[in-house]
Amino acid sequence: MIAGWWQALLIVAVLAAVHVPLGDYLARVYTSPRHWRVETALYRAFGIDPQADQSWSRYLASLLAFSLVGALLLYALLRLQAHLPLATGHPAVPPGLAFNTAVSFTTNTSWQNYAGESTLGYLAQATGLGVQAFASAAVGLAAGLALIRGLTRHHTDTVGNFWVDLLRSITRVLLPLSAVGAVVLISCGVVQNLADPQAVTTLAGGRQIILGGPVGSWEPIKLLSGDGGGFFNANSSHPFENPTPATNVIEIILMLVIPTAFLRTFGTMIGDRRQGWALLAVAGLLFAFVLVATGAAELAHHDPATLAAGAATEGTETRFGAPGSATFGVAATATADGAANSSYDSFTSLGGGVLLATMMLGEISPGGAGSGLYGLLMITMLAVFLGGLMVGRTPEYLQKRIRAPEIKLIALYHLATPAAILVGAGIALALPVGRSAVGNPGAHGLSEIVYAFTSSANSNGSAFAGLAGNTAFYNTTLGVVMLVGRYLPIIIVLALAGSLAQQHHGPVTTGTLPTHRLLFISLVTGVALILTALTFIPALALGPLAEGFHTMPSGY
């Protein structure tokens, strides 16, 4: 427990140290008028004019076209795997699973209905999933940048150039940070090779096939991008991916570093860094709340077994312990990353319920790369609107009015993902084919289904292991929910960016609500918690809460 608190303090210290320099670096990347030579060469090769600004509709069309091509190429790679080099003997991925996987990694979800070591070869892992992990993260960053420009520009219908934002995110942000992360992780013992599978004799005298692979270069990609897909089925609980408590801390930092730094980037780009600090405070409060709740649930002694072990240790790697696993789980669900260093299905009922509720917050604590920022801005503008209603004044945010067209888009944004979750889970519960895949009866089985659709709609990818998701029904329905949960919010965000960019900057008066002070930070935090509770309390009450109170011994 004490070691867990020291780990948490170390993580906070490192993030605090890099927050300002990395956030300001990102701002320079996206505002610099200069293009690197390699970027210029790629622009010429694909016929792109990097100086041409795009309207929100053209920006969106470029984003969707890029994502569609990426999904099709990944699907083809998975289906043709058996005929490609470095397949390590694996056959082609079946059509339904290939569809689900292609959609999963294109949408930055990384939901995996398969075991990586028994399904994919090195080429599919590195060039297929790895490329899409970069690309999908860059798409999220681009959407966030478009909304920033919508808030800063006036009397225009342009929000930037998608291709410039995409390429700079990859070449100047994700690739350099991943290279540094790979060197650090490999030096700490993470495996990196292209060796053939090796047969070894176990201590019990049996024979086991041991796989290697380019794991060290994969890990920072999956963590920095918010992708979270494991090279192995055990993800970051596998000793080849995450061998020591030190690498566990490093991996948590990698998940959090871009989403938190991007909030500084927001403040720098709009010319008021106090706004970035305010958003960081909201994300920090929410993260601290869910971390304490998860840790308390996992460390509480509810029965003789947890009392003897000192915590709920089932499904937890002993080299990390319950505190290290709880911190990792909260970081993974709070950042939409989906990585796992333990079995979330084995968390206590209330601990697993907190992870589920963390995703239901909507990627704002601090959320994914780019998606965390626009999620926070959406809840912030909703809070501005509610604050304006309280005092009878037209709501304004950063000198932009939140009028009827804007609040309609904001309302649609906050309805889109919950609708995808609840409709999808409702269909799965209503059909025998959906219920038959659940490995546990009662409230926990309900939680497994709701967790799957929440994870898919919020581009997370983590799972409760009791759900057998590799079926035609779940490969299809979860794939559709991933598409809706990823691209419908982005469509709304870009439409809002275009609407805001067309406005003029209004004057700041004595009646303008300050959006950088403690009162407003409290308002945004409260709105986020209340909105999530009003939307999802029935599902949480029937699932993890019911299970938790049912299993809790008398006297609690």
Average predicted confidence (pLDDT) for the chain? 90
510 vs 23, higher pLDDT = 23
**In the predicted model, what is the mean pLDDT of residues 304-330?**
77
Whether the pLDDT of residue 21 is over 70: the answer is: yes
- Classified as helix, coil or strand, 466 is coil
Alpha-carbon distance of 297 to 311, in angstroms, equals 9
Overall domain count for the chain:
1
Residues of the chain above pLDDT 90, percent = 66
pLDDT tens digits along 105-131 = 999 998 888 877 778 888 888 888 888
**In the predicted model, what is the mean pLDDT of residues 274-292?**
96
Q: What is the pLDDT of residue 306?
A: 64
User: Rounded to two decimals, what is the model's pTM?
Assistant: 0.94
CB atoms within 10 A of CB 9: 10
- Identity of the residue numbered 57: S
Q: What is the pLDDT of residue 417?
A: 96
Alpha-carbon distance of 491 to 57, in angstroms, equals 9
Q: Of the ranges 65-74, 233-242, 297-306, 348-357, which is most confident? A: 65-74
Q: Look at the alpha carbons of 107, 113, 117, 121 in this order and tell me if their dihedral is positive or negative.
A: negative
Q: What is the pLDDT of residue 126?
A: 82
Q: Judge contact between 548 and 348, C-beta under 8 A.
A: yes
Cβ neighbourhood burial of 507 (10 Å; 0-12, 13-18, 19+)? exposed
Cβ neighbourhood burial of 356 (10 Å; 0-12, 13-18, 19+)? buried
Whether the pLDDT of residue 188 is over 90: the answer is: yes
Whether the pLDDT of residue 308 is over 80: the answer is: no
What's CA 242's distance to the chain center, in Å? 19
The answer to whether residue 489 sits within a structural domain is yes
270 vs 313, higher pLDDT = 270
Whether the pLDDT of residue 554 is over 60: the answer is: no
Whether the pLDDT of residue 88 is over 60: the answer is: yes
Residues of the chain above pLDDT 70, percent = 96
Q: What is the pLDDT of residue 527?
A: 96
The answer to whether residue 220 sits within a structural domain is no
Closest CA to 502 of 270, 55, 151, 154: 154
pLDDT tens digits along 349-390 = 889 999 999 999 988 999 999 999 999 999 999 999 998 888
The answer to whether residue 222 sits within a structural domain is no
How far lies 54's CA from each of 13, 48, 155, 157, 161, in Å?
Answer: 39, 12, 14, 8, 5
The answer to whether residue 137 sits within a structural domain is no
The answer to whether residue 348 sits within a structural domain is no
pLDDT tens digits along 458-509 = 999 898 888 888 899 999 999 999 999 999 999 999 999 999 999 988 777 7
Whether the pLDDT of residue 93 is over 50: the answer is: yes
pLDDT tens digits along 201-244 = 888 888 887 878 888 988 999 999 888 887 888 888 989 999 99
Closest CA to 29 of 179, 175, 184, 155: 175
Q: Judge contact between 471 and 431, C-beta under 8 A.
A: no
Q: What is the pLDDT of residue 363?
A: 84
The answer to whether residue 420 sits within a structural domain is yes
Q: What confidence category does residue 556 fall into, taking pLDDT thresholds of 50, 70 and 90?
A: very low
Whether the pLDDT of residue 528 is over 80: the answer is: yes
Q: Judge contact between 114 and 83, C-beta under 8 A.
A: no
The answer to whether residue 323 sits within a structural domain is no
Of the listed ranges 184-188, 263-267, 442-446, the least confidently predicted one is 442-446
Alpha-carbon distance of 255 to 260, in angstroms, equals 10
Q: What is the pLDDT of residue 1?
A: 61
pLDDT tens digits along 393-443 = 778 999 999 999 999 999 999 999 999 999 999 999 999 999 999 988 889
Residue 201 DSSP one-character state = E
The answer to whether residue 361 sits within a structural domain is no
Look up the domain containing 417 and give its range.
372-551
Q: What is the pLDDT of residue 310?
A: 63
Whether the pLDDT of residue 277 is over 50: the answer is: yes
Q: What is the dihedral of CA 439, 444, 446, 449, to 10 degrees?
A: -60
Q: What is the pLDDT of residue 303?
A: 62
What spatial distance separates the first Cα and last Cα of the chain, rounded to whole Å?
22
Q: What is the pLDDT of residue 456?
A: 94
**In the predicted model, what is the mean pLDDT of residues 259-287?**
96
Alpha-carbon distance of 556 to 543, in angstroms, equals 19
Whether the pLDDT of residue 553 is over 60: the answer is: no
Q: What confidence category does residue 534 fall into, taking pLDDT thresholds of 50, 70 and 90?
A: very high
Q: What is the pLDDT of residue 13?
A: 95
Q: What is the pLDDT of residue 246?
A: 92
DSSP string, 308-377: HHSS--TTB-TTTHHHHHHHHHHHHHHTT----SB-GGGS-HHHHHHHHHHHHT-S-SS-STTHHHHHHH
